[in-house]
Structure 1
Amino acid sequence: MKLWRKLSVLLLTCFLFAFYSYSHAQTVVVPKVQGEKEQILYDILALTLSKSAPSITLSTLPEVLNEAQLVSEVEAENLDVMWSGGDKEKDERLEAVRIPVLKGLLGHRIFLIRKEDEARFSTIKTFEDLLQFEAGQGRFWGDTQILKSAGIPTVTTIKYKNLFPMLEGGRFDYFPRALHEPFIEAANHQHLDLVVDTNVMLVYPYAMYFYVNKNDKRLHDLIYSGFEKAIEDGSYDELFFNNSMIQDVLTKANIAERTVFRVGNPHLHPDTPLNRTEFWLDLKNLQ
Structure 2
Amino acid sequence: MSLFSLRFLKNLVPCYLLVLLVIAPAAMAQPKSTKVTVMPAITDIDRYSVRMLTLALAHASTRYDIVPDADGGQRTQGRYIEDLRTGRIDVMWAASDASIEEQVLPVRIPLLKGLLGHRIFLIHKNSQSKFDAVNTLDDLKKLKLGQGATWADTKILESNGLTVVKTQKYENLFYMLDGGRFDAFPRGVQEPWGEVNKIPGLELAIEKRLMLVYKMPFYLFVSPDNPALARDIEKGLNAMIADGTFDHEFLNDPSIKKVIELADLKNRKVFYLDNPALPKGTPVDRAELWLDINSL
TM-score (norm 1): 0.90
Match of 1:200 among 210, 217, 220: 210
Deviates more, 1:274-283 or 1:51-60: 51-60
Matches within 5 A, 1:59-70: 59-62=67-70, 63-64=72-73, 65-70=75-80
Equivalent position SS for 1:154: strand
| Alignment pair present for 1:140 and 2:150 | yes
- What is the alpha-carbon distance in structure 1 between the residues aligned to residue 56 and residue 232 of structure 2? 8
| Alignment pair present for 1:121 and 2:121 | no
Structure 1, unpaired ranges of 5+? 1-10
Name the residue aligned to 1:81.
Answer: 91
- What is the alpha-carbon distance in structure 2 between the residues aligned to residue 268 and residue 209 of structure 1? 13
Equivalent position SS for 1:116: coil
Match of 1:181 among 180, 191, 203: 191
Q: Is the 8 A contact 1:27 1:57 kept in 2?
A: yes
Q: Is the 8 A contact 2:34 2:62 kept in 1?
A: no
Matches within 5 A, 1:120-269: 120-269=130-279
Structure 2, unpaired ranges of 5+? 1-20
Distance 1:159 1:106, change over 3 A: same
Name the residue aligned to 1:284.
Answer: 294
Residue 171 of structure 1 aligns with an amino acid whose one-letter code is R
Residue 30 of structure 1 aligns with an amino acid whose one-letter code is V
Name the residue aligned to 2:63.
Answer: 55
Distance 1:173 1:53, change over 3 A: farther
TM-score (norm 2): 0.87
The structural deviation recorded for 1:47 is 1.2
- What is the alpha-carbon distance in structure 1 between the residues aligned to residue 90 and residue 61 of structure 2? 15
Distance 1:53 1:239, change over 3 A: farther
The structural deviation recorded for 1:20 is 9.1
Q: Deviations over 1:10-66 (max 9, x none)?
A: x9xx89x959933xx312110111032211111111111112347212100122233
- What is the alpha-carbon distance in structure 2 between the residues aligned to residue 187 and residue 248 of structure 1? 17
Residue 149 of structure 1 aligns with an amino acid whose one-letter code is S
Distance 1:34 1:73, change over 3 A: same
Q: Is the 8 A contact 1:124 1:199 kept in 2?
A: no
User: Identity over aligned residues, as a percent?
Assistant: 36
Equivalent position SS for 1:51: coil
Q: Is the 8 A contact 1:51 1:230 kept in 2?
A: no
Q: State the superposition RMSD in angstroms.
A: 1.8
Q: Deviations over 1:226-268 (max 9, x none)?
A: 0000111111111111111111111110112200010111111
The structural deviation recorded for 1:73 is 1.7
Equivalent position SS for 1:191: coil
Name the residue aligned to 1:272.
Answer: 282
- What is the alpha-carbon distance in structure 2 between the residues aligned to residue 130 and residue 66 of structure 1? 29
Name the residue aligned to 2:36.
Answer: 28
Residue 207 of structure 1 aligns with an amino acid whose one-letter code is P
The structural deviation recorded for 1:89 is 2.7
- What is the alpha-carbon distance in structure 1 between the residues aligned to residue 30 and residue 106 of structure 2? 27
- What is the alpha-carbon distance in structure 1 between the residues aligned to residue 61 and residue 126 of structure 2? 52
The structural deviation recorded for 1:272 is 0.4
- What is the alpha-carbon distance in structure 2 between the residues aligned to residue 255 and residue 53 of structure 1? 40
